[in-house]
Amino acid sequence: MSHVEPVTALADNYIWLGRADDGRQALAVDPGEAAPVQAWLEAQQASLAAILLTHHHGDHTGGAAELARRHQAPVYGPGRETIAAVDHPAQGGDAIELAGLGDLQVLDCPGHTAGHVAYLWEGHLFCGDTLFAGGCGRLFEGSAAQMHASLQRLAALLETTQVYCGHEYTLKNLEFAQRVEPDNELTAERLRRAQAARSQGHATVPTSLGEELATNPFLRVSEPAVRAAAEEYAGAQLDRPEDVFAALRRWKDGGG
Ligand code: ZN
Ligand code: FE
């Protein structure tokens, strides 16, 4: 068994810290800063056994080199991106054995960046800026078709998979989701829960893949109601799921 906790960093980033219940070894995902991770390790009396990076953006990598040096920890990161701290390049399909922490699977999910990867660890999905609670990452380097394919790859995992994304963007995402699907009761209910959590300063993440499939419009591009809303926004018929996805992404980028 294992568990995962968030540490907040920068403006709205989450650094995820995973730990085996029976051990002292921990892994850190996307440490944009070193100090909060260091403080967590000391409070938990845990030792850092591995650092996982999903993509090259500084808010996900900024603390990696310092933590790696301090703890002699290996740094896994996308093999198709250039990140100075990475000494263990990873790519989709890799199975990595982490001493004291078990197995890790690597999934390619380009779109937000060209080489973005996600990591699946004992039912916990660390997906960086690809899949967000209620939304998805912006397309900085990849195409809409790539991002759509990446999200579909993640969507094919077990519905019980716990989703750990890189930012607390949930309220804005669900407000947009509600504009896309005003009749989705589950979305409305989820937005109310997220508002209550945020008003008390609680994280809305992790979420489950099942909940994303039920409420996240970017995973629901084949639903007639989502397609109809995207077509109305685009002013055109959208035949393919990736075209619906592209229209939703443009709609959200334009201020939702
Ligand atoms: Zn990013
Ligand atoms: Fe980010």
CA 108–ligand 1 middle distance (angstroms): 15
CA–CA gap between residue 177 and residue 226 (Å, rounded): 9
CA–CA gap between residue 197 and residue 230 (Å, rounded): 29
Class at the top of the CATH hierarchy for domain 2-253: alpha beta
At 131-155, the pLDDT tens digits run 999 999 999 999 999 999 999 999 9
Please tell me the number of the ligand nearest to residue 168's CA.
2
pLDDT one digit per residue (tens) for the chain, 256 residues: 789 999 999 999 999 999 988 789 999 999 999 999 999 999 999 999 999 999 999 999 999 999 999 999 999 999 999 999 999 999 999 999 998 899 999 999 999 999 999 999 999 999 999 999 999 999 999 999 999 999 999 999 999 999 999 999 999 999 999 999 999 999 999 999 999 999 999 999 999 999 999 999 999 999 999 999 999 999 999 999 999 999 999 999 998 7
Does the bond joining 206 to the residue before it have cis omega, within 30 degrees of 0? yes
Q: Residues with catalytic annotation?
A: 55, 57, 59-60, 112, 129, 167
30 close to 166: Cβ distance less than 8 angstroms: yes
Please tell me the number of the ligand nearest to residue 112's CA.
1
Domain-wise residue ranges, the chain: 2-253
Query: Helices marked H in 181-240 — which ranges?
Result: 185-199, 209-215, 224-234
